[in-house]
Chain A
Amino acid sequence: MALLKGGKSVDDAWQRIDGDEVLPETGPVVVDLSRWQQDRESLIARADAVGVRLQSDDDPESLAGDLDHLTLIALDFPGFKDGRAYSSARVLRERHAFKGELRAVGDVLLEHLLFMHRCGFDAFEIQSDDPERDWQIAVDDFDVWYQPTADGRPTALQRRSS
């Protein structure tokens, strides 16, 4: 699994902690929502960065009050047809102005990168032999958009009136 960020393949410094697994002494960790809710205080007290991984049926609102403590939120696509995380991403970015890393994990392919990016994802755990090529193909597909989102791409309407 490659991590794609800013169009580049990068090393992933984050350790994924499933369920009640023991936390490593140091290093950034990403935990499930239930673990976060259970060990919130001690996780905040850690010296290193903390992230939370949301399942597609977790409500992003449950993190609304905690965003200042989180450096990363990973949103899971259990199958690419489950599109809930697109909404979760926009809720976190646009409704709550989350500034950390928003990572797409799970069933992530070239064909989804662009829409994910438009919804606020900026990192992707992608299944691919050549993630950088995939990124280039994906972002070159379109340069016209009708929908205003927080990604800053100008919409057709904005370009029409400029």
Chain B
Amino acid sequence: MYRYDEFDQALVTQRAKQFARQVERRLAGELTEDQFLPLRLKNGLYLQLHAYMLRINVPYGVLSSRQLRKLAHIARTYDKDYGHWTTRQNMQFNWIRLEDMPEILLELASVEMHGIQSSGNCIRNTTADEYAGVAADEVEDPRVYCEIIRQWSSLHPEFSYLPRKFKIAVTGSDNDRAAVKVHDIGLRLYRNEAGEAGFEVFVGGGLGRTPFVGESIRAFLPTRDLLSYCEAILRIYNQLGRRDNKYKARIKILVHEMGLDEFGRQVEEEWERIREGALTLPDEEIERIRTHFEPPPYESLPAESAAYLAKRTQNQDFATWADQQLADHKQPGYAIVNVSCTPIGRAPGDISSGQMEVMADLADRFSFGELRVTHNQNLVLTDVRQEDVFTLWEALISAGLATANHGLISDTICCPGLDYCSLANARSIPLAEKLSARVADTSRQQEIGEIYVNMSGCINACGHHHVGNIGIVGVDKKNSELYQLMLGGSAEADASLGKILGPGFDEDGIIDAIERIVDAYVSLREDGERFIETYRRLGPAPFKEAAYDGTTQGR
């Protein structure tokens, strides 16, 4: 993974000191809350319903065991002994005191971490495919370019007071695991016919109140021009993006109102002016950064481990878990291991400090000391020898981290909702817990197969409900919690937005409705068809009939 050099380290330490001064100025009354607000946001500090919430960047989801131990320490010392993985691959603590912030930031800086620009109207943490560098289907490693973007966007003097937040995602594989089409800028890294690496650039995707799937603004951008092109997009957006209404301030609205062609024309015009300038990436710098992402010292192993296969036949529970949680590794004899932080009946993405320490130890023992955080709020050990998988599994069982639900219905994405968030209309965590308790049985879940359920507590869509195969959103109806159901969303390469099925449901009603929809899918699907495929083939009608049939009426 990328390790800071003296410059990167100096910047993060200086930032921690700067924020200590700003906190001091705030506590002394030299800054009003209004003036302080954007400063704390740019360091990841929100004021939530009950306390401050601190969001810490995990750059493109890559985390070392040392960093994870530090997060465990912070959870234990400054929070209620647990933390929460977010859908943008970051860590969130929900019970932070303002007075502790200077100390926390210095602790984080000591392990090359920070909350810089994890909130506020600026360029946020760039996200990537959680299997970057190890996926069998990868064309190019997106982390190299994520790191380049991370540096360029950190403390960008021009783009720190944008109309609204700005999110960039990079995928290095055609199977998009980074949901690039629902980002302000999405980058698909590929090689053109001449064999040169470059990006297809998507712009104007996003969820929230007005969801859009991003559109391609440039078919091929040479890698050396990455930053000048991003700077051109950001400059047009900073100058022309709407500032009169915060719900219309994202770049997607600008692109929509200007039209993709006119927006693209202005970007290209600006890019022509600056493309050969100081932002052009020298090959040596790309190479310098690439050396940080060299593969770890793999052993040469047979493609399949006999010991692993034997354990699978001896132990049915292990085989069931492995079927669900393992993904193909490009290196023979190794496996990518998904570790669920969304156990049955519990809030998606929560992790205790004890579990963080266990995961850090397991990463050291089995995966070169590195982990990934996924946008599904889980963890990945990317480089595990197949022959170690069984021992790893046993350790995960004792830590309560061996749930086998990767990509299954109980592996929900969900936002903090009414339990923490002041904007929420409805609770989302308890709903996710209820749904997963309802479908707890693993073999039933595996029979149902891949299905993504995403939940948000309000239309701001932090739980990405528009791109869930099944999406749930809390709406405000006469002061009671009401949930609306959407079907047909997808965040993958063929991204699509879900459509509202019909009238909303109460908490129990929606669980029943989902169950009936899933039953309908199972009886209607053709061989090997995933939920999303069946839905696309048949349209909403049969699912609507199923959802509104039965005792609990929608209302």
User: In the assembled complex, which residues on chain A have CB atoms less than 8 Å from the CB atom of B288?
Assistant: 160
Q: Find out whether the CB atom of A156 lies under 8 angstroms from the CB atom of B151.
A: yes
A-B contacts counted at CB < 8 A amount to 97
In the complex, the answer to whether A83 meets B11 with C-beta atoms within 8 Å is no
Q: Is B8 among interface residues, defined by CB-CB distance under 8 A?
A: yes
Which partner residue on chain A sits nearest B163 by CB separation?
Answer: A83
Assembled-state Cα–Cα distance A148/B17 (Å): 24
Q: Determine if A111 and B22 form an interchain contact, defined as CB atoms under 8 angstroms apart.
A: yes
Q: Is the CB of B239 within 8 A of A80?
A: no
What separation, in Å, do the CA atoms of A161 and B292 have in the docked complex? Answer: 17
- Set B5, B17, B157: member contacting A86, Cβ < 8 A: B157
Give B228-257 interface residues, CB cut-off 8 Å to A: 235, 238-239, 243
Cα A141 to Cα B43 in complex, Å, equals 15
Indicate if B314 sits at the interface (CB-CB under 8 A): no
The minimal Cβ–Cβ distance linking B373 to chain A, given in whole angstroms, is 24
A87:B18 contact, CB within 8 angstroms = no
What total of chain B residues lie within 8 Å of the partner, measured CB to CB?
39
Does chain B have a CB within 8 A of A10?
A: no
Does residue B444 face the partner (Cβ distance < 8 Å to A)? no
Q: Which residues of A contact B235 (CB under 8 A)?
A: 87, 90-91
Chain B residues with Cβ under 8 A from A88's Cβ? 239
Contact with A along B146-161 (1 / 0, CB 8 A): 0000011011111111
The answer to whether B284 and A161 touch across the interface, beta carbons within 8 angstroms, is: yes
State in angstroms the CA–CA spacing of A90 and B21 once bound together: 28
Q: Report whether A147 and B161 are in contact in the complex, using a CB–CB cutoff of 8 Å.
A: no
In the complex, what distance in Å separates the CA atom of A115 from the CA atom of B169? Answer: 25
- A111/B279 in contact, CB under 8 A: no
**Residue A114 CB within 8 A of the other chain:** yes
Q: Are A119 and B11 in contact (CB under 8 A)?
A: no
Whole-angstrom CA separation of A66 from B516 in the bound complex: 69
A9 to B416, CA, bound (A): 48
Say whether A95 faces chain B, with CB atoms less than 8 Å apart.
yes
A149 touches B (CB below 8 Å): yes
Contact B285 A80 (CB under 8 A): no
CB distance B158 to A119 under 8 Å?
Answer: yes
Determine the distance from Cα of A80 to Cα of B161 in the docked complex, in whole angstroms: 8
Distance, CA A109 to CA B158, complexed state (A): 16
The docked-state distance in angstroms from the alpha carbon of A145 to that of B158 is 13
Contact call A109/B35, Cβ cutoff below 8 A: yes
19 CB < 8 A contacts A-B: A80-B35, A83-B159, A86-B158, A86-B159, A86-B161, A87-B239, A88-B239, A90-B235, A109-B35, A111-B22, A115-B158, A116-B157, A137-B21, A144-B8, A144-B11, A148-B277, A156-B8, A160-B5, A160-B7
